[in-house]
A and B are shown apart, each in its own frame.
Chain A
Amino acid sequence: MPETIDQIFVLLKHWLMLHVPVALQPLCSAILSVIPVLLVFPLLFAITTVLERKGLGRIQNRYGPNRVGPFGFLQPMADGIKSLTKEDIIPRSADHFVHFLAPVLLVIASFLVYAVLPIGRNMVVANLNAGVLFFFAVGSMVELSVFMAGWSSRSKYSLLGAMRAIAQMISYEMPLVLSSVVVIMAAGTLSTVEIVNMQATYTGIFPHWYVFTPWGFTGFILFMIAATAESNRCPFDMPEGESEIIAGYYIEYSGFKFALFFLGEYLGMFATSAMAITLFLGGWAAPLSVLTWVPSYVWFFAKLLALIFVFIWIRGTLPRLRMDQLMNFAWKFMLPMSLINIVGAGIWHFMPAGFARWLIVSLIIVLSCVLLSRSLRRSKLFHARVYRFAS
């Protein structure tokens, strides 16, 4: 019975496919796989906006939305209707075609990455041989859409915002990819489905998630920091800092196009969180072997919501970084740490299993982390900031 509930969506699709003529089957199969993704994740976006505003309200000691529907939970509906009925303003000197294309490209790229994310057992749109590579390749198209939005608006603020966003995204893409390399090394495959399958085995009752190894833990932390920066969220929300450049690259967008940018940003956040889950937290696998009767997609979405909660929590807790701090952190700490982590994973791979490799690899990572951060601190501690262009 648990087996049936676990596979219910897969079985439903197979049953539906029996009623389709053979010639149309590939097309129908693709449509049936894509539609749930197109429905579920925008719905999750709507729920997350409410949860985020209510959570931030609680952190900041105020109420948050509580007027529309029970406890304010219908707020996204009201927001959606509002943004649909708003006037769509395009600046007169803007590049109309590129201005229109930028949000479309952003949403397409944000949806495409879900193709390789396994939502449950046997529940993936496309099991690609090079799935992780596909994820990062399509994810890099987001940068292009940010550039198009910033440039085509022909506004100083949006151009500055786009410059900041792209500089940040390119800088943090390096640690993002390098911290996931350790998992690819350990699993020996680029296929997301294979990576999850390898983590879905148990010793006793404990699972084989990669986060439970020294290199996996470090990789997970680095991945999450880089993912926060990639999705332009606090404390890395320089590109849209309200107090400096109002809303960054989408300042000249209004109405539904603005909502599309919002959607794309949140979809990107969900996708990177889902990738972190797939790479380090065992994907759809249950955290204890006695809990495997719970359907796999429930575990996936539970982990996703947990990570989203962490994102909201961080946003409510940390102040925004400065641009030079952001860049220094990416290039002087994140990048060396992820390279050292790769070396650690290599040592782990070639040492015999046991306590010794735990000790040695942990020691290498902790020591290098401490030394790196101490040396960075020493060179930075008593420096007054030099304003190169403003002083």
Chain B
Amino acid sequence: MTISFLLLAAITIIGTAAAMSLKNLVHCVLALTLGLVGLAALYLQLGAQFVGFTQILVYVGAVAILAAFAIMMTRSAEPTKTNESSSFGLSGTLIALIVFAVMAWAIYTGTSALQVAAPQPEASVHQVGVALMHNFVLPLEIIGLLLTAALIGAGVLAMEESRRAR
């Protein structure tokens, strides 16, 4: 529990909480980005450079921009009077509590809680690459296939639209 961990955790929590509670949807996206950057910084603090930088590259560089685009393209960016998420606040709180309880239980009874003094593993890019190409090559290929299918699907959808427009 160092100061840097507490600061980064505070940034992450404030960012995600603001993403849920702000009125303007674009502000929500920006706050969510802050939370994701905080999460990436937490990964970096744990010595996982590859995961941390990939988190920034994918979530800040692509997902946040795409979310902002989607909001601007599909509905007006005018701020709404009420935050729609507050209408199902009770059920949301309940679900969040249950998830938190399950995770806390898993952490406190799992094996990871026992090895406090274990040496910190350094997840270098080389190790990540070796793991992906040896142990996890089949999941990698399946994800690649899935993403290719999604890409082709997106292309087909776009083509349909342009044909209809003519």
Stretch of B50-58, B88-96, B113-121 with 4 or more beta carbons under 8 angstroms from chain A: B50-58
Interface of A is mostly: helix
Contacting residue for B57 out of A136, A148, A190, CB 8 A: A136
Q: Are B61 and A137 in contact (CB under 8 A)?
A: yes
Which A residues between 77 and 126 are near B, CB-CB below 8 angstroms?
95, 98
Per the bound structure, the CA–CA distance linking A159 and B77 in Å amounts to: 12
Query: Could you say which of B11-19, B63-71, B136-144 contacts chain A?
Result: B63-71
Of the stretches A11-19, A139-147, A244-252, the one at the interface is A139-147
A133 contacts B by Cβ under 8 Å: yes
Q: Which residue of the partner chain A has the closest CB to B71?
A: A151
B124 touches A144 (CB 8 A): no
Known contacts A166-B69, A170-B65; A133 and B60 CB within 8 A of each other: no
- Please state if B54 and A137 are interface contacts (CB–CB under 8 Å): yes
Which residues of chain B from 10 to 63 have any CB-CB distance to chain A below 8 Å in the complex? 24, 26-27, 30, 33, 49-50, 53-54, 56-57, 60-62
B56 proximity list for chain A (CB < 8 A):
137-138, 140-141
Give the distance in Å from the alpha carbon of A137 to the alpha carbon of B49 in the complex. Answer: 11
Contact of A140 among B62, B124, B165 (CB under 8 A): B62
Which single residue of chain A is at the shortest CB-CB distance from B57?
A137
Contact call B62/A130, Cβ cutoff below 8 A? no
B125 within 8 A of A: yes
- A385 beta carbon closer than 8 Å to chain B: no
Q: How far is the CA of A388 from the CA of B162 in the complex (A)?
A: 10
Bitwise interface map of A from 197 to 211 toward B, beta carbon under 8 Å scored 1, else 0: 000000000000000
Write out the residue numbers on chain B whose beta carbons fall within 8 Å of the beta carbon of A147. Answer: 65, 68
* Contact present for A140 and B30 (CB under 8 Å): no
Asked if A98 and B61 sit within 8 Å, CB to CB, the answer is no
B124 contacts which chain A residues (CB < 8 A)? 129
Contact of A129 among B49, B54, B64, B77 (CB under 8 A): B49
B62 in contact with A170 (CB, 8 Å): yes
- In the assembled complex, which residues on chain B have CB atoms less than 8 Å from the CB atom of A137? 53-54, 56-57, 60-61
* A134 CB, nearest partner CB in chain B, Å: 5
Q: In chain A, what residue has the closest Cβ to B47?
A: A129
A151 to B26, Cβ gap below 8 A?
yes
Q: Determine which of B24, B33, B57, B77 lies in contact with A133 in the assembled complex, contact meaning CB atoms within 8 Å.
A: B57
B53 A134 Cβ-Cβ under 8 A: yes
Contact of B72 with A by CB under 8 A: yes
List residues of chain A with CB within 8 A of the CB of B24: 95
Asked whether A190 lies within 8 Å of B65 as measured between CB atoms, the reply is no
Identify 22 residue pairs between A and B in the complex whose beta-carbon atoms are under 8 Å apart, listed by A's number.
Answer: A95-B24, A128-B49, A129-B50, A130-B50, A130-B125, A133-B50, A133-B57, A133-B125, A134-B49, A134-B53, A137-B53, A137-B56, A140-B56, A141-B61, A143-B61, A144-B33, A147-B68, A151-B72, A159-B72, A170-B65, A173-B61, A189-B125
